[in-house]
Structure 1
Amino acid sequence: METTGSELGELADDRRLLGRTSTAERVADILRTRIAEGFFPPGARLSEDSIGGALGVSRNTLREAFRLLTHERLLVHQLNRGVFVRVLTVEDVEDIYRTRRLVECAVVRGLGEPPFVLDGLRAAVVGGEQAAREKHWKGVSTANIHFHRELVALARSARTDELMRGVLAELRLAFHVVDDPRGLHEPYLVRNREILEVLKAGRRDDAEQLLADYLDGSRTRLVQIYAGLVPEGDAAER
């Protein structure tokens, strides 16, 4: 699967984000966002010439950006074939959810005494509900990811934020394989609202239990769907 000319034209618009201080990290940020949005779907081959030309960066800079994203498990280098967006295995998906449960539940457990600062969490819930009213299901998916990032941000830990940024970016690789974004994401709008309201009431323990049940149910459902879409033999080698 190769990127089309129109897609590369859209990517070229991102050149303005690089400014005069273009670095591999900035290129990686752009590509990471595009991968998370599904602009480069799982299994897509990333052309050095096309992407480097669209962004106006050197081959060395682009290769360093690819290296950074490979380290984050978003890309995979296949010998004599090139660089591809990873296709997760079922085991990858299960491991992502194990990590999420460990981190997200620990964050809620360690919140301390109420009241909690929930502005970011509230904005994510409202954004998801608005996207659903507009039947913008990818927007619902994005808002749901924002909900969990804002939840982890309650820990006020840059290291935890960075960890979850990578974990949730990986998770979206699985979401992009599923062809029913509404069915996958809409049911969790109510759960997000419920967790928000329980935290507003200061009931930290109840929020942790709701979150644990939420993540366990989400993992079971996604694994069932994903296992039928990506057989183990088709996953990109790691």
Structure 2
Amino acid sequence: MGPLDAKHAHTGSAVAEKLRMAILGGELPPGAKLSEASLGAELGVSRNTLREAFTLLNAERIITRIPNRGVFVARPSSADVREMYRIRRVLEPAALLQPRYQIQSLPQVQSLPQGGEIQEKALAAAVQLGLASEENHDVAGMAAANQQFHALVVGLAQSVRLDTVMAHVQAEMRLVFHALAGEPAFHAPFATANAHIFTLWRDGQAVEAAAELTEYLDSAQAQVLSAMPSESDDLS
């Protein structure tokens, strides 16, 4: 990872962001032990600063503390996955039912024009990215497009707090996906389903889109659970 620049090295939030990027990017895989001594030396920060960062990441459920064993990158369990999808089934279908074209801007998509049709433009862009990635068998691209699409769906509720909840859930989901095989066949159905849900919503069939999304989330949960590795292996 390399050391932080001197200007930010003393802040726990900067260290947390550095670790967060390494974890969610797969550099520090689920189950990896995080040594205070080695990470402190690598990042050039004190143990107190590192512990502050651990506290922030633990609250986000990205890392976990195991008494008498240390700090580890979180390895979400089947129960965690069920909880993530339970949250998503509450947030996402309800967001699709929000009145359209009432939002003046969406902070998640700064590069797109702001205005009355920003929701449709942003969602369409995410759908097209997913379909293009599917065609190119780009697993990372499909996964990124899928996360973007669902974050934008929650963004329709125009709630910073709900956006934050979704961001935390998606961070946990990325830990789950790191443990799954990176096969295009696993991700491809999501790109197609997102396109169908978007088309329904775009054409004014929000109720139908919300129902399709609920079924989608049920199916995705079952697929993820069936693809997860055995939980019989303990952290080492």
Shorter-chain TM-score: which interval? Answer: 0.7 to 0.9
Spell out the pairing of 1:64-213 with structure 2 (5 A cutoff): 64-109=52-97, 111-113=98-100, 117-213=119-215
Q: Which moved more, 1:128-137 or 1:152-161?
A: 128-137
The partner residue of 1:220 within 203, 210, 222 is 222
Q: Which moved more, 1:64-73 or 1:173-182?
A: 173-182
Q: Distance in 1 between matches of 2:159 and 2:181?
A: 35
* Amino acid aligned to 1:230: S
Asked if the contact 2:96/2:201 (under 8 Å) is kept, the reply is no
CA distance 1:20–1:126, shift in 2 (3 Å) = same
Q: Distance in 1 between matches of 2:16 and 2:205?
A: 39
* Amino acid aligned to 1:103: L
Larger helix proportion, structure 1 or 2? 1
Q: Cα deviations across residues 146-166 of structure 1 (Å, max 9, x unaligned)?
A: 111111111111100000111
Aligned residues: 220
Q: Cα deviations across residues 164-187 of structure 1 (Å, max 9, x unaligned)?
A: 111111112111111244222111
Q: Distance in 2 between matches of 1:159 and 1:22?
A: 28
Asked if the contact 2:85/2:221 (under 8 Å) is kept, the reply is yes
Q: Cα deviations across residues 116-148 of structure 1 (Å, max 9, x unaligned)?
A: 622222222222233334332122112211111
Deviation, structure 1 residue 27? 2.1
CA distance 1:121–1:82, shift in 2 (3 Å) = same
**Identity percentage over the alignment?**
37
Q: Cα deviations across residues 53-100 of structure 1 (Å, max 9, x unaligned)?
A: 333322211111111111221111123332101112111111111111
> Runs of 5+ in structure 2 lacking a partner?
102-115
Asked if the contact 1:87/1:235 (under 8 Å) is kept, the reply is no
* Amino acid aligned to 1:165: A
Alignment match, 1:234 = 233
CA distance 1:34–1:125, shift in 2 (3 Å) = farther
> Runs of 5+ in structure 1 lacking a partner?
1-10
Alignment match, 1:25 = 13
Asked if the contact 2:9/2:15 (under 8 Å) is kept, the reply is no
Asked if the contact 2:9/2:45 (under 8 Å) is kept, the reply is no
Q: Distance in 1 between matches of 2:178 and 2:36?
A: 23
Where has structure 1 moved over 6 Å in runs of 4 or more?
none
Asked if the contact 2:9/2:44 (under 8 Å) is kept, the reply is no
Q: Distance in 1 between matches of 2:197 and 2:215?
A: 11
Asked if the contact 1:140/1:185 (under 8 Å) is kept, the reply is yes
